Chain A
Amino acid sequence: MTDTRQPVVVVSGVRKSFGETAVLDDVDLEVLEGTIFALLGPNGAGKTTMVRILATLVPPDSGAARVAGHDVVADPDGVRASIGVTGQFSAVDDLLTGKENLQLMADLNHLGRVAGRARVDDLLARFDLVDAASRLVSTYSGGMRRRLDLAMTLIGSPRVIFLDEPTTGLDPRSRRQMWDGIRNLAASGVTILLTTQYLDEADELADRIAVLDHGRIVADGTPDELKRRIPGGHVRLQLSDSPTLRAAAALFDGATLDEERLVLRVPGDGDVASLRHLLEQLDDARIAVEDLSIDSPDLDDVFFAVTGPPSLEEEAA
């Protein structure tokens, strides 16, 4: 498959240490224009540091990073003119109203009076903040703050957006709203790099995922590619008694029995054709199944498979 889209974010061989600790260790990344790229990893994996390097907040120790054609070290202002950043901690002014925060961003983006005002009103409406527009941000809920934060990032119509854990700490409803907002952005052609520690979030949003662990990329690919790396999908059959269980087990290669719970696990990814075949075999052998369910591997399985089990130290932390 050839992709004609250009890479907008290119990271090659980036290293960064704070003191003795290597936070990023030879990281390579490429994000294509108009796609959503998720950098997935546990706390302390180096996700935020990667975003801070791309956002020109900290320079890498070695290696190179280019955003929209500009080098983050040699031409930080070129990068800044093309990006929008929403960090982990909300970057809003509590002593201003929502509208004033957006107006401040419009002024700093040199939008001009009329265009700036139109853009502010448009974003207030898009992020469902019209009613709260003239309230001080200190009275906003967590979800509203995040929405305002993202709206402020969008004022200058950036080509590339970095979102550092955009939904951490949000309730499920606000999280859904944020996801919709991110999808709409990508649909409008903006390139998005987001970090997350939630596997379902990466699965839900991203075109490509890179798994970062201890400063290294340990796996990358599309969500489906990553899932395919993990064997372990199976169809779970609940049977009524032990003899039936044995009879059923004899039908399938590699099936595992759970005598205690009378459960049979048949390997397979549970697509319609193989499922139909499985049911036909059971019918032919006149075996009645009490219950059937499909367990497909999710990104959690991928995650633990590539990062290994958490060490004791991490579990304590």
Chain B
Amino acid sequence: MSTLAYTVRDSATMLRRNLRRLRRYPSMTLLLVGMPIVFMLLFVYVLGGQLSHGLGSEYVAGHTGRAGYLNYVTPGILLMTVAAAVQGTAIVVAMDMTGGIIDRFRTMAIARSAVLTGHVLASLIQTLLSIGIVLGVAVALGFRPTAGPLEWLAAIGVLTLFSLALIWLATALGLAAKSVETASNTPMFLTLLPFLGSGFVLVASMPTGLRQFAHYQPFTPTTETLRGLLTGTPIGTDAIVTIAWSVGIALASYLWARHLYTRRRST
């Protein structure tokens, strides 16, 4: 078999291992998917009635009050789901690296990239499932996307790409962490970023400094692109900025993670 065939085979083996582990340890997944759902319920039912008044008519797609706000907030909640899910990635990567089993993998003649690829693919599946669950809850609460098949496809593409970027980032954070506890804390700032962008309120309503930060951070264009695809708001240049951010974060994090993974050999 060729090197590539072995790489694919070993990565598939590692993917199976990680998916099995996720099934054995469902409390973590449930906890991580529970967080965005709780925020969605809080924001829609507690704050949504009030917040919906500040939104322009283009954002609520003909709905009013809570239903309108649910329409507005769902894309941000979906990205928050991604940010929450990748905390799990950092935790499981750190669990592996601080345990004895990683040394076993390193002393076996297996494809070098298989360990990290297995983690990333398992996390991607977990994250997309989490998105599916949260989206299901949103629809059950009354979220009515206007997207056609093409827009849905594009939305799934955007979510997948953005998930991959944050998963590689969390993988690197998990590798950099000295302990599992550290690894569970470092990616937490990601779940705050939807708040400091257009996830919950219009960026235009923020004070200057914050507005500038919100404008330039990656969650904002991604939220806008997703919102546009799902509810028909204007997208403009946000799509290309979103892709650039995602590819950039994924690439930089991948290189960082690979560096951390190989560097560990000499310590």
Contact = CB atoms under 8 A, between A and B. Distances in A.
Q: Does B associate with A?
A: yes
Interface of A: 55-59, 77, 80-81, 83, 85, 87, 89-96, 100, 104, 107-110, 136, 152-153, 156
A127 to B, nearest CB: 16
B100 interface: yes
Interface centre among A59, A91, A136 (most CB of B within 10 A): A91
A236 to B, nearest CB: 46
A112 B250 CA distance: 34
Given A95-B25, A107-B13, A110-B9, A81 B104 contact: no
A91 B265 contact: no
Interface in B162-210: none
Contact of B103 (A91, A100, A108): A91
A57 B9 contact: no
Nearest to A164: B103
A80 B24 contact: no
B263 to A, nearest CB: 12
A108 B13 contact: yes
Contacts of A104: 13, 17
Nearest to A80: B109
A85 B109 contact: no
A87 B100 contact: yes
Contacts of B104: 85, 87, 91, 152-153
B266 A80 contact: no
A85 B103 contact: yes
Given A77-B109, A93-B17, A104-B13, A87 B6 contact: no
5 contacts: A57-B106, A58-B265, A87-B103, A90-B100, A95-B25
Interface secondary structure of A, over-half rule = loop
Contacts of B24: 95-96, 136
Interface string B65-108: 00000000000000000000000000000000001111111111
Contacts, number: 66
Contact of A59 (B16, B100, B266): B266
A56 B100 contact: no
A57 B108 CA distance: 10
Interface of B: 1, 6, 9-10, 13, 16-17, 20-21, 24-25, 99-110, 265-267
Given A57-B265, A81-B109, A108-B108, A96 B17 contact: yes
Contact of A109 (B16, B20, B108, B265): B108
Interface secondary structure of B, over-half rule = helix
Contacts of A90: 100
Contacts of A81: 109
Contacts of B267: 58
B107 A56 contact: yes
B20 to A, nearest CB: 6
Contact of A95 (B1, B6, B21, B107): B21
Nearest to A58: B266
Nearest to B96: A93
Contacts of B17: 93, 96, 104
A57 B1 CA distance: 26
Interface centre among B6, B24, B107, B108 (most CB of A within 10 A): B107
Contacts of B16: 107
A96 B21 contact: yes
A57 B100 CA distance: 13
A91 B101 contact: yes
B110 A92 contact: no
A55 B100 CA distance: 14
A166 B141 CA distance: 58
Nearest to B5: A110
Nearest to B12: A107
A136 B100 CA distance: 17
Nearest to B10: A108
A170 to B, nearest CB: 16
Given A91-B101, A91-B104, A110-B6, A96 B109 contact: no
B82 to A, nearest CB: 24
Contacts of B101: 91-93
A136 B102 CA distance: 19
Given A81-B109, A91-B104, 11 more contacts: A55-B103, A56-B106, A57-B103, A57-B265, A59-B265, A85-B107, A94-B99, A96-B21, A108-B10, A136-B24, A152-B104
Q: Across the A-B interface, give the 6 residue pairs with the lowest CB-CB distance, nearest first.
A: A91-B104, A91-B100, A89-B100, A80-B109, A81-B109, A107-B13
Interface centre among B9, B13, B108, B110 (most CB of A within 10 A): B108
B56 to A, nearest CB: 49
